[in-house]
Amino acid sequence: MVTGICGAQEKLGDELKTLVDDTYQPLDRGYNELFRSMAEMRTEIESMQHILEKEATTSPSINANKATSVDVKPQTSQIPAEPESLAEKKDEWEIAYINTRINDVYNPLNNNVDCLSTRIDLLHQDLDTIRKKDPQPATSIDICTITSIDSKFAAMEDRLKSYEDMHDRFTSPIMRYLDTLSTQMMNVQRDIGKLNDQHDFQEKGSTSIDRFRRASLDGKKPT
């Protein structure tokens, strides 16, 4: 009887340890991959910022597009057709790409967090189940047998305490990682918002320049 009880408790203890290992190790690898991806996105955003700043400083001068005289109307063939802005297309593609990368990082992470929460709940349930398992009164008159059972369960309580400590040790870093992740995601979203604002500003500036250029070529005052 004693052997059976202790064997079951030992097996449950091993299952708990395996559960902790199966939860922590994949999560640790996932976070390492996550932080690497976040660093890559940060580099890409900085690269986009440099490109936008360079384009803003190299925009053609308004004066360069003026006709030499408003009295001399240029031929139609001299007015260039309105080309598609490759820079704008590139900006839109890069912003869409970054948004896709964020989703590629966030969605698997969200699934990992849900899985982690489920595993932690199962771990708590297993610990509660062990706590609630009280030994049945011994029918044997052998006092040594009762003492042996009590000592086994006392040892099991100590082992449970070590599992609880283990649980706390890997839960606390997880919560810190989640806080760090939340801050980094907010920073990425803020940077993307700035890029969108810069893109809109440049698009408005380009429209204004084109309107002024057409008015100058037609000999009219720009409105």
| pLDDT above 70 (res 16) | no
Q: Determine contact, residues 130/10, Cβ cutoff 8 Å.
A: no
Q: How confident is the model at residue 188 (pLDDT cuts 50, 70, 90)?
A: confident
| pLDDT above 70 (res 201) | yes
Query: Could you read off the pLDDT of 119-170 as tens digits, one per residue?
Result: 666 766 766 666 666 444 444 444 444 445 566 666 666 666 666 666 666 6
For the chain, the domains span 2-56+87-133+150-217
Query: Could you read off the pLDDT of 90-105 as tens digits, one per residue?
Result: 667 777 776 676 666 6
The answer to pTM > 0.75 is no
Ranking 33-42, 70-79, 175-184 by mean pLDDT, the lowest is 70-79
Q: What is the pLDDT of residue 47?
A: 72
Report the chain's mean pLDDT, rounded to a whole number: 63
Q: What is the pLDDT of residue 92?
A: 72
